[in-house]
Amino acid sequence: MGRRAYIVVGIVVLLLLGGAVGAYAWDKSQEDEIAEGISIGDVDVGGMSADEARAAVRADLIKPLDKPVTVTYDGTRYILQPEDLEIGADLDGMVDDALEAGREEGLPSRIWRYATGGEVDETIQPTVSYSHEAIDEFVAKAAAAINQDPVDATIEPAAASLNAVPGEPGRTLHTDELKSAVEEAVQNPQNRTVQAQVDEVQPAVSTKDLAEKYPVYLTVDRANFTLRLWKDLKVVKSYPIAVGQVGLETPAGTYTINDKQVNPYWHVPDSAWAGDLAGKVIPPGPDNPLQARWMGFFDGAGVHGTSDVASLGSAASHGCIRMAVPDVIELYDQVPLGTPIYVG
């Protein structure tokens, strides 16, 4: 190879070295500039220096996070304050990630991008820290306020009627979904409001179920000396009765039949009105005022037969409900233990 050829080769080598040195210097000058097309969250930081990116992210992403998160349900707002959240952000880490994202390509690709004005299409997810415990406590408080147990339909008895009271549905908050939605809102400066999702919970007993729940019911009308037998919430028979005399009134209220006996023994109360019989036990027979059947419901008070049929239609007993013997025998077989009895 002649002298001229060596010179040409030398010039080419020098040009290549010069180009490489120039390319390296150009790339070096871009180290502190974030590539175009890169964003941190919703903040476009392409073309910014590290300091400029920090300022932009602080202003457009971090500062707006210092706002309450609001959960709404049925016109009520539940507010999670920013001071409770203890929000923090790794600002330096996010900017460093943005810078690094623009330098992941090889040097030739970067030089080509600089020369052609190309972009790096990448979004850096914001690194935001917050108190998970505060969110858990907030969701628990919202659930306590929103959740409501369903109320079963029931019967509101009166002396001469059984009135159906409709049930009320309950509601249950989707706590896991709400927690996730609040966590997203905590990190989203544009949307700080969450709509709570709630399920309606139907009562176990509806109005149409009441007849099945209360197949038998008794009501006592003390003022009119009448006991009514209800089946499937309809009166099937009314019986004349005697009730407690003044000072020894039959106790008013709603009870259940809790004791049933055929030809019961009479355990005489240890009371002054019992005289010499106080505290004694009287076996079945003519001396026992509890004739034929006994259906107890409260503190010694019950329904029983009586041989003193002349007392029916009056306040004559010591607190019990007296019935004619044929009537109490007929009633007894239709009234299971646990049957509700209302005394009004």
- pLDDT at position 244, please? 96
End-to-end CA distance of the chain: give it in Å, rounded.
Answer: 129
Confidence tier at 272 by pLDDT (50, 70, 90): low
Q: Region 207-217: what's the mean pLDDT? A: 97
Give tens-digit pLDDT for 72-113: 999 999 999 999 998 888 889 999 999 988 888 888 888 888
Confidence tier at 289 by pLDDT (50, 70, 90): confident
Structural domain spans, the chain: 26-132, 133-205, 214-343
Angstrom distance (rounded) from CA 96 to CA 217: 78
Angstrom distance (rounded) from CA 256 to CA 337: 8
For 214-343, which CATH class?
A: mainly beta
Give the residue with greater pLDDT, 30 vs 7: 30
Q: Region 260-276: what's the mean pLDDT? A: 80
Q: Note the residue count of the chain.
A: 344
Q: Is 304 a catalytic residue?
A: yes
* pTM > 0.75: yes or no: no
Choose the catalytic residue: 174, 267, 304, 318.
Answer: 304
Give the residue with greater pLDDT, 266 vs 169: 169
Confidence tier at 6 by pLDDT (50, 70, 90): very low
Q: Region 324-342: what's the mean pLDDT? A: 98
Angstrom distance (rounded) from CA 47 to CA 36: 5
Q: Is 318 a catalytic residue?
A: no
Q: Region 119-132: what's the mean pLDDT? A: 88
- pLDDT at position 116, please? 84
Q: Which two tokens stand for residue 321?
A: 């409900």
**Mean of the per-residue pLDDT values of the chain:** 89
Question: Is there a contact between 341 and 255 (Cβ–Cβ < 8 Å)?
Answer: yes
Give tens-digit pLDDT for 10-38: 444 444 445 556 666 667 767 788 999 99
- pLDDT at position 231, please? 98
Q: What are the residues whose beta carbons fall under 8 Å from the beta carbon of 49, sequence distance 6 or more?
A: 32, 33, 34
Question: Is there a contact between 42 and 190 (Cβ–Cβ < 8 Å)?
Answer: yes
